[in-house]
Amino acid sequence: MNMSATETLYPLHNGIGNMVRALFPESAFFINGLLGLIAVVILTSTLAAVLILLERKVSAHFQVRLGPMRVGFHGILQPLADGIKLIFKEILKPKGADSFTFYLAPMLPLTATFLIMAILPFDHHLQLADPAGGVLYVLGISGLAVLGLLLAGWSSNNKLSLLGAMRAGAQMISFEISLALIMLLIVMLSGTASLREIVLSQQGLIFDWWIFKLPFLGIISFIMYLIASTAELNRTPFDLAEGESELTAGYHTEYSGMGFAMFFFAEFVNMFISAALATTFFLGGFHAPLIGIDFIDPILNIIPGFIWFFGKTFFIVFIYMWFRWTFPRLRIDQLMSLEWKMMLPTNLLLLMMGAVFMVLGWAG
Amino acid sequence: MSDILFYILATVLVILSGCAVSLPNILHSAIALIGSFIITAALYIMLQIELLALAQIMLYVGGIVVFMLLIILLTTGLGVDDKLGRISTWKWISKGMITGLLFTGMLYFFTENSSSLLDQASAKAAPITIDQIGIRLLSTENGFIVPFEVVSLLLLAALVGAVVIARKDAEKKEEQS
């Protein structure tokens, strides 16, 4: 916990970073930033491939199938084959579509995912940037994704796309409020809005994680975060925006080749980002789950933080996939009443109870 | 370095703002507006007002422009109607000259009469952290900004009330039919 001031300002202090700093003391800031950006781009691309394969495998096993098996061992190379296919596919533009908007729209959600990946705290020194208002940054950038969907739906010159985009927009805007209120609860408890500081505020045993703090409030708000983020991601049971039976595929009906790939890519990486934020806010981020027994804790501490981070995150990703194959799709009015009549009042109540617990000193 | 960056950003901002008011397609104007909001946020970051930049992105890009887009998408025919094309060149020039004169006058005033207040403010401009703003929002001395802002809820309540009063008739008609 004894970090010097410079270390908290520039989290990019690691082996490679220090080496670059020793070799090129003057341009180290620039080189380190560039290296970090390249790392984020590589990580994001790899994650998309892994998540797409994982989704197909998990869904197959839920339905007692095998899923992709032909390409590589148990279909490991399947995302690569899909990617090559999508790159060489022709990008079709519907007649009467607005060219500029049509080509701009898929880039916005992708940009948003890259921007959010830059501030996720993967480990003590594995974070590209740590703005003091990290939570605000996350909420603001996710607006870009909504813009991308709306523009895609409009520019496709297709009624079904437009309907899908309007549904997606309305849904994402309304559930963002719930998400913001849950994040606000955690910001209030930890007393900081920077993601790294939020993780550091959960240092200690497993019972110091925010999910187990506050009698019952932590676990309730965690469950509500899962619901709200599933809706924010437009995943089943909230995938009205692309309900196949009603809207063919919603806002990305008219996209082919890389345009479609960008939406698909952003959707899957956003799932990872939501899970990573849940890990950061509730599950102690990169901290090992110490249980207070003398001979087990050191063994848990040997495992590096980013492995714990990815482990917890992929557990939550699995929960998202589990939801998808368990619940049927909601109607649009059910969705809206869930948000505005149940989630929002409950969130406000939780926030107030959290404040009361803070004043009483029960928060720990 | 940061001077060059500022000039690049400012040029792009001016171009995008011009596009936002002059493009014939209203949706393209909205996209230009998004760009200009993001660049304004970048200028705030250069001034080390991080919270303002984040709030700018969150409220304007994530909130207001999304609502504007929803309204544009709900109305038909806005994408093709070129109303700006009907404005005559003479009107463009005359109104441009008036605006230009006002802008030049303002520029002249601020460069010639640089008040001591402005210089002092720019000299001691310290980065404002989120914590400082939070304390100012809620503190009992030199603060009380939150209670002041909460008063605006009254306006919202009045609006909702107006909608409720306006809706009653429609519901009655539905029951009768």
Mean pLDDT for A166-193 is 86
In 3-state terms, what secondary structure has residue A28? Answer: helix
B3 and B81 fall within a common domain: yes
Spatial contact of A179 and A225, defined as CB atoms under 8 Å apart? yes
B47 and B116 fall within a common domain: no
B26 and B67 fall within a common domain: yes
3-class SS letters over chain B:
CHHHHHHHHHHHHHHHHHHHHHCCCHHHHHHHHHHHHHHHHHHHHHCCCHHHHHHHHHHHHHHHHHHHHHHHHHCCCCCCCCCHHHCCHHHHHHHHHHHHHHHHHHHHHHHHCCCHHHHHHHHCCCCCCHHHHHHHHHCCCCCCHHHHHHCCHHHHHHHHHHHHHHHHHHHHHHHHC
Distance CA A274, CA A269 (A): 9
Q: Is the pLDDT of residue B173 over 60?
A: no
Task: Test A143 with B70 for CB contact under 8 angstroms.
Answer: no
Q: Is the pLDDT of residue A186 over 80?
A: yes
Task: Test A166 with B70 for CB contact under 8 angstroms.
Answer: yes
Please provide the average confidence, as pLDDT, over all residues in chain B.
78
B48 and B68 fall within a common domain: yes
The residues on A that touch B, with CB distances below 8 Å, are: 98, 100-101, 104, 131-133, 136-137, 139-144, 146-147, 150-151, 153-154, 162, 165-166, 169-170, 173, 176, 193
B80 and B115 fall within a common domain: no
- Judged by average pLDDT, the poorest of A179-193, A267-281, B128-142 is B128-142
Spatial contact of A154 and A165, defined as CB atoms under 8 Å apart? yes
ipTM of predicted assembly, 2 dp: 0.76
Torsion of CA B156, A168, A57, A285, to 10 degrees: -30
Q: pTM higher than 0.80, yes or no?
A: yes
B74 and B33 fall within a common domain: yes
B151 and B170 fall within a common domain: yes
pLDDT at B129: 73
Mean pLDDT for A238-245 is 71
Q: Is the pLDDT of residue A38 over 80?
A: yes
Spatial contact of A138 and A113, defined as CB atoms under 8 Å apart? no
Chain B: closest CA distance from residue A106 (Å): 14
Q: How confident is the model at residue A156 (pLDDT cuts 50, 70, 90)?
A: confident
B81 and B19 fall within a common domain: yes
Structure tokens at B21: 């008011």
B138 and B109 fall within a common domain: no
Q: Which of B 35-54 lie inside 8 A of A, CB atoms? A: 50-51, 54
Chain A residues lying within 8 Å of B72, measured CB to CB = 154
Number of cross-chain residue pairs from A and B with Cβ atoms under 8 Å apart: 76
B134 and B177 fall within a common domain: yes
pLDDT digits (tens, 9 = 90+) for A115-125: 888 888 888 77
B77 and B105 fall within a common domain: no
Exposure string (b/e) for A130-164, b if CB count within 10 Å is 16 or more? bbbbbbbbbbbbbbbbbbbbbbbbbbbbbebbbbb
Mean pLDDT for A244-251 is 70
Number of domains forming the structure of chain B: 3
B19 touches chain A (CB under 8 A): no
What residues contact residue B42 under an 8 Å CB cut-off, 6+ apart? B9, B53
Of A287 and A16, the structure prediction assigns the larger pLDDT to A287
CATH code of the domain containing B51:
1.20.120.1200
Q: How confident is the model at residue B119 (pLDDT cuts 50, 70, 90)?
A: low
B10 and B77 fall within a common domain: yes
Residue B141 lies in domain: 129-177
Distance CA A362, CA A347 (A): 19
